[in-house]
Structure 1
């Protein structure tokens, strides 16, 4: 896509970008030496875990690696090459300090004064689209100070790397988003750009032999992230062998492997990584347990509703019979209402006994909130 007049031009000391075109694979095989000198592949940190990702890419000594990685992603939208970056504080002031949601994974500033926020999500626990927009908004407005003008606000690029599938509308593992006019499709502004990278689709494409990491810089870096999958206790040895060959020619990739190995061999770093991985998996398990409990409660509630309907129908028949005998219409109405209320109260007691929230009980049964609160107090 063509660059518009607002597209920033990056300046700095040198370009760090390696795309060497059609490379002779047989020559690489003959010269290949093992990249991992001291540990097996399965001992490497899973780079899709935010802690490991930050250790590799948020490191002043490895800044060249981060620049190459970012250029591989941003070239999709026609942006000029990044020459240099600086790392920014990722703590969001005024948020919940102990909450992971208040800490961005990686935030950098380019020489063109563009801010790039990178989020890597191991599990699908959040509304990722809204979450990304929320972070984007915070980064965009954070530099705004008193006496500044809106013209001084700089572009913010959000990059989301997801260890799960998100968009059902497309098979592409990398999708990008901007603000466009609905009919003529011209861009409203260059200050907003979103990237979503779905690792599950990337691995699928690799398994289907639809990726060419030899001639696609982004493919090789994302395959690096996908090579070790500790969540599913799986390591893709074939990916390692292919990247090992490519790294004989790609210095940045080779340096990334070496740094990755050093990080994984450092006991303190690896213990911190394992602690973070365990917390993520525990959170995922707790979320799954909660979903199962809700599902079980819903199924039990459905059964109670079925029984309640039967009770209502029985009450209607009894009321009808009584009304017929007494010649009163009120009997039918009263019997129906009494049966429905009795069934609803039975369901409410069942849900409250499972520690369901009062609002959920009200929504499920249709009982008045004060009635549910009164039942809850009596149960206590």
Structure 2
């Protein structure tokens, strides 16, 4: 194989796969299902008979059963051939709520399995995979941490025969540092290859790690799934429709991150007179809501569908319809 065959467009044109929109185009698309299966097996380190062989993509929304329920838009949600549920979340910036949000998502997924006439014994294992572009565990050097339900003193699992809870945190920033230190071997670990793919482009800083590309170029000579992923990556990075959606989503994420920091600073000042906690919460929430409203209005004017806006902004259908009604001209 020609080494240059895996790249047909300039590297700087490739989407940052840590942006949730791009990640879902790659791993949450029916036509790329094989790539999704290989990636999940790599993260969960499944081999032989235990491997995931087939997945079914499920609806992304959890909650919303009643009018005032909080509704969540998941990045990727699949059901395996064994009936296990797996949710994959990608997070570019740190909103300092990842742990609680993860537990909420896991609980909603686990609860959603139960239907009328079904016994609790029929509930299937539920797995959450979080890929974070920031540090979650400062005192832990591992880039991949997995959590289960354990007893405090004996460390025995609550359900060793079928562990219903499994939560993964993968920290891309730690991973990149370890790779540059020469402590990771992509020939021996398939997950390293996929994380190199995710880490190669830094959309926030408009940077591409050429050293990572060269490593992937070598690996792709023997790994057909990696080559297929590169083909898909280039394809989604060239479509005018996906380029617009990707750029809009990246801008929104970075603007929200900036507002979050600005909200903290304003909250600190406000907190001097009104209480630190209350000021922080108000500053962050007000900035976030206003930006979401403005972005939805812009996307509606571009005639984007409600479903597309749900994916880009992370709001529920009902919230988008309310903004749509507010923006209509008055008689």
Unaligned runs of 5+ in 1: 1-27, 302-346, 361-380
1:253 CA drift (Å): 0.4
Does 1:206 pair with 2:176?
A: no
Structure 2 counterpart of 1:137: 107
Structure 2 counterpart of 1:105: 75
8 Å contact kept, 2:16–2:203: yes
Q: Distance in 1 between matches of 2:281 and 2:51?
A: 55
1:109 CA drift (Å): 0.6
1:183 CA drift (Å): 2.2
Does 1:218 pair with 2:188?
A: no
Structure 2 counterpart of 1:288: 261
Structure 2 counterpart of 1:62: 32
8 Å contact kept, 2:267–2:282: no
8 Å contact kept, 2:136–2:171: yes
8 Å contact kept, 2:64–2:71: no
Structure 1 counterpart of 2:57: 87
1:295 CA drift (Å): 3.1
The structure with the largest alpha-carbon Rg is 1
1:246 CA drift (Å): 0.5
Q: Distance in 2 between matches of 1:205 and 1:248?
A: 24
1:126 CA drift (Å): 3.8
Does 1:249 pair with 2:222?
A: yes
8 Å contact kept, 1:155–1:192: yes
8 Å contact kept, 1:95–1:102: no
Query: Equivalent of 1:42, from 12, 22, 26?
Result: 12
Unaligned runs of 5+ in 2: 284-331
Q: Distance in 2 between matches of 1:123 and 1:101?
A: 21
8 Å contact kept, 2:41–2:52: yes
Q: CA RMSD in A?
A: 2.7
Length-normalised TM-score, structure 1 = 0.68
* Distance change >3 Å, CA 78–CA 32, structure 1 → 2: closer
Structure 2 counterpart of 1:166: 136
Structure 2 counterpart of 1:334: none
Structure 1 counterpart of 2:315: none
1:80 CA drift (Å): 2.0
Query: Aligned ranges for residues 1-380 of structure 1 at < 5 Å?
Result: 31-37=2-8, 39-75=9-45, 80-94=50-64, 102-189=72-159, 190-297=163-270, 301=272
Length-normalised TM-score, structure 2 = 0.78
Q: Distance in 1 between matches of 2:49 and 2:140?
A: 23
Deviations 1:162-184 (A, max 9, x none): 01001012100000000112222
* Distance change >3 Å, CA 95–CA 102, structure 1 → 2: farther
Secondary structure of the structure 2 residue equivalent to 1:215:
coil
Deviates more, 1:204-213 or 1:73-82: 73-82
Structure 2 counterpart of 1:337: none
How many residue pairs get aligned? The number is: 277
8 Å contact kept, 1:181–1:187: yes
